[in-house]
Structure 1
Amino acid sequence: MKRPYDLPSMTGLLCFEAAARNSSFKAAAVELNVTPAAISHQIKGLEAELARTLFRRQHRGVELTEIGAYLFVALQRGFQTLSNAVSDVRGQSESEDVTVQATTAISAFWLTPQIAAFWKSHPEILISQIVSDIDVPGSAYPDLSVHYGALPEDENDHHFLFRDRMRALGSPGYAAAHQIREPEDLLSAPLIHLSGVEAARWTGWTDWFRQLGHPAPTGKRIAVNNYMIALQLAQDGVGAVLGWDGLVMPQVEQGRLLDLVSQSIPSPHCYYLKVHPRASAKARVFADWLTSKRI
């Protein structure tokens, strides 16, 4: 009998999602309580079934390909919808002290390191994340959520976290191929734009150029609906991407991306934390810790 859903091995998908989220087969193996060889075997099988390469194997770990990044985002959305449904069925877990909602990019590049640092002084408080780039209907309500935008006036429920600078970033190969030295050189060069729901929360290229006194760009437009994919495309040399200091510094420090021009702009909006009415006392402890850092 034909399966009702056109899906490969669920074990392979679970292993792939864990490896992609951790950027490591070894870390995925620890999380799933199997060997790294088992993770590698499952992912090789998944790649063979899909006839696509999902990871670039490197000396210090693994890196998603463009196709891999696309599948990773789709899986996270699907798993989050399933997780929300299961939570609704079983009710809030008694062992879950704090839930925090954030986009994929904020979770990967900023929130997860913050949680790791928080646990050094508060190991007794369990924190879980709701990672989603879209508003999932019927999703579980978090205690806290991280947002990018204009800070709402209600200071009791919304707290400033940090404000970034925005920089034009690209791969070394992209910079050389397009001879990028000044912002004017980017006006006709390929640029990666965010589209869809996530784009409404972020500042785009037209805003960046406007603040530097330039017209809107006219070059090739590569549109994606997820910032993680945008960064991966930039690392592959497909186009330039806008980077927020607080999110992209690891890629810059590792040499995957570099500043294409010396000019940058202050972000028009800030990152802020929303404390939801249902937030527990432990959630407010974490909220106070985050907002006291003033990064």
Structure 2
Amino acid sequence: MALQLPSLASLRAFEAAARLRSFKQAAEELSVTATAISHRIRVLEEYLERPLFLRKVRAVELTQEGAALFAAVSSGFQTIAAAIEHVRSPRRASVTLSATPAFATKWLLPKLASFQAAHPDIDLHVHASNAPVDLNAGTADLAIRYGHGHYEGVTVTLLLEDRFAPVASPVLLATIGKDASRWPLIHFDWHCPPPVDLTWRAWARETGRKPSDLSRGIRYSEESHAIQATVSGQGVALLSLVLVDEELHLGLLRIASAPTLKGMSYHVLKPNQRPVSKAVAKVEDWLIRIAGEGSSIADRRLRER
């Protein structure tokens, strides 16, 4: 059933006059004459068969019926105005970025405040998982993955090159000797073992030791847990210098000894079978810019050795 309502012009004239308590001011606000306002309100009163105003010399006052109608009409107009503003305002862009839990926790999260300051109109959702995602299916918009960069069905951009080095807390380093075979060691198990050996076995071979010399110690299933254990002084760990850059910068960790092992690289992946939005392109540009801003503290420490 169609709603039985008076004309919108009459309701607008009534709302303005009731709010301003003046036909003249209502006319100025609506860019019509005072006579037009008076006429529209009179049409509304005839429709309702009730007086809505008490006309006085210099002002008008609402009758009881007029006050009741004003409350409803004013609320209705405010609701309509809010809905129109919501429809007119641009929708916030949303971008989902997939990364491994360790990379998301240690490298990405500390930098997200910078992203939000630079792009307050983009909602960035971080999907932390070791499992690969299908970017062309829309599971995520971007992904950061660790490897040699050979990925099919996606566009690949180099983000960061990585190295691994023995690191420990300064307090622990002050108490242990230079004989690595006597160090308390920390290991972590890769979820998907990389094609290059980045474990204590490989470091032992690089230093002329037997792999069995560096096989004991505490083991963790998560790389981020191994990092935290190293910071707390539980032992020396062979860790990604990309992931512990912040801890090295703050002095929570120090490189215990040379040599370093050449790791693989972090790459930004985006779909190549569907277009990416401007927001996705902005996130990718931000990642590349942040990654390229100066050398890491680890790079500087290694050059000093």
Superposition TM-score, scaled by structure 2 size: 0.54
Residue 158 of structure 1 corresponds to which residue in structure 2? 156
Contact 2:198 2:261 (C-alpha < 8 Å) held by counterparts? no
CA distance in 1, matches of 2:232, 2:240: 19
Residue 195 of structure 1 corresponds to which residue in structure 2? 189
Question: How far apart are 1:226 and its partner, in Å?
Answer: 0.7
Residue 17 of structure 1 corresponds to which residue in structure 2? none
Question: How far apart are 1:225 and its partner, in Å?
Answer: 0.9
Residue 249 of structure 2 corresponds to which residue in structure 1? 253
CA distance in 1, matches of 2:127, 2:103: 11
Task: Return the match for 2:204 from 209, 215, 232.
Answer: 209
- Residue 268 of structure 1 aligns to a residue whose secondary structure is strand
Superposition RMSD in Å? 3.2
CA radius of gyration, larger in: 2
Q: CA deviation digits over 1:1-30, x for unaligned, max 9?
A: xxxxxxxxxxxxxxxxxxxxxxxxxxxxxx
Contact 2:204 2:213 (C-alpha < 8 Å) held by counterparts? no
Question: How far apart are 1:134 and its partner, in Å?
Answer: 5.1
Contact 1:162 1:270 (C-alpha < 8 Å) held by counterparts? yes
Residue 128 of structure 1 corresponds to which residue in structure 2? 125
CA distance in 2, matches of 1:123, 1:248: 28
Residue 109 of structure 1 corresponds to which residue in structure 2? 106
Structure 2 segments unaligned to the other structure (5+ residues): 1-90, 293-305
CA distance in 1, matches of 2:259, 2:138: 38
Q: CA deviation digits over 1:147-179, x for unaligned, max 9?
A: 111111669611100113322111234324431
- Percent sequence identity is 26
CA distance in 2, matches of 1:153, 1:211: 30
Superposition TM-score, scaled by structure 1 size: 0.56
Question: How far apart are 1:199 and its partner, in Å?
Answer: 5.1
Residue 227 of structure 1 corresponds to which residue in structure 2? 223
Q: Are residue 149 (structure 1) and residue 144 (structure 2) matched?
A: no
CA distance in 1, matches of 2:154, 2:285: 12
CA distance in 2, matches of 1:168, 1:240: 6
Residue 239 of structure 1 corresponds to which residue in structure 2? 235
Q: CA deviation digits over 1:116-164, x for unaligned, max 9?
A: 323333222221101134569xx98111111111111669611100113
Residue 72 of structure 1 corresponds to which residue in structure 2? none
- Residue 143 of structure 2 aligns to a residue whose secondary structure is strand
Contact 1:169 1:260 (C-alpha < 8 Å) held by counterparts? yes
CA distance in 2, matches of 1:286, 1:162: 16
